[in-house]
Structure 1
Amino acid sequence: MIAVLLGLAVACGGPPSAAPAPLGLTEAANGSTVHARVGQQVELRLGSTYWSAVSSSSPQVLQPLTPSSPSPSSPCPPGGGCGTVSSTFRAAAAGTAHLTATRNACGEAKPCLPDQRTYLVTVEVSR
């Protein structure tokens, strides 16, 4: 009986494949190109509450699931920006989208250097 069931599973293409694991992105991915598959979640976590909301250049390709939300951490000195900003997207269709966020301050009365002001990751989604 088991052999028959195994034979049927192989003949029918096997069991359905599980959804791809979420793709986690942090500030370390800034400036890079990453690859996702349709149906995969892309979870972005930036390490400061000074980051703006994260946006997708092509919501048809990379659909926002949760709005950007800051999560302050404590203890934190006033103006420290301690915590994270997180967003989740779903790879909805094949194509290319850019995830972007900006910030002007990197701490209280501490402007960001030019290379610290923009977060940009290119996400190439395939089937």
Structure 2
Amino acid sequence: MKLNRPAVLVLGCAAALLALTGCGSTGPSTAASAPAPTVTAVTTPAAVTVTADEKANHTTVKVSVGATVSVELQGTYWSGATSSAPAVVAPTGSPTTAPSPSCRPGGGCGTVTTSFTARTAGTAHLTAFRTVCGEALNCTPNQRSYDVTVEVAG
């Protein structure tokens, strides 16, 4: 009997498949006697960090529980930000001040950063204040305060 090339290919593939699945073997099949493994997929949401700077002043930021909100203000004359509702949005530590290396002492160059964690659904205001806006330069009233509303969804 003469087989053409496609028929030989099909028969070869079928034989390989039978060998892999154990069909035609006389011994006990371990695949049939062992229970199928259970695979559980665990999905962990990526940690979300939202950074709010001066451009976010007087705006609303919406986040989910577990998110980090970082308030990063330019100028070391700013106070660290505080939360109006620490049960909703809690600080994760003390504010950090990072002066700019090229700034002369007293120049106010650098950043003040405070980080918070959204703990539960609700609303909180993150606020900061300053009175000085530059070396020997007092801030005008509209430059003295920073306020971002944070809405946390459960």
Same fold (TM over 0.5): yes
| Count of residues in Structure 1 that have an aligned counterpart in Structure 2 | 119
Q: Is 1:57 the equivalent of 2:84?
A: yes
Q: 1:10-29, aligned counterparts within 5 Å?
A: 15-29=42-56
Indicate the SS of the match to 1:28.
Answer: helix
* CA distance in 2: counterparts of 1:99 and 1:67, whole angstroms: 14
Q: Is 1:96 the equivalent of 2:123?
A: yes
Residue identity in the other structure for 1:113: T
Q: Normalised by the size of structure 2, how large is the TM-score?
A: 0.71
How many angstroms does 1:90 deviate by? 0.2
* CA distance in 1: counterparts of 2:86 and 2:75, whole angstroms: 24
Structure with the larger helix share: 2
Q: Which has the higher contact order (CA 8 A, sep 6+)?
A: 1
Q: 1:34-53, aligned counterparts within 5 Å?
A: 34-53=61-80
* Aligned equivalent of 2:138: 111
Structure 2 stretches of 5 or more lacking a match? 1-35
% identical aligned pairs: 47
Structure with the larger strand share: 1
The superposition leaves residues 72-95 of structure 1 with CA deviations (integer Å, 9 ceiling, x where unpaired) of 112113432000000110000000
From 42, 62, 67, the equivalent of 2:94 is: 67
Structure 1 stretches of 5 or more lacking a match? none
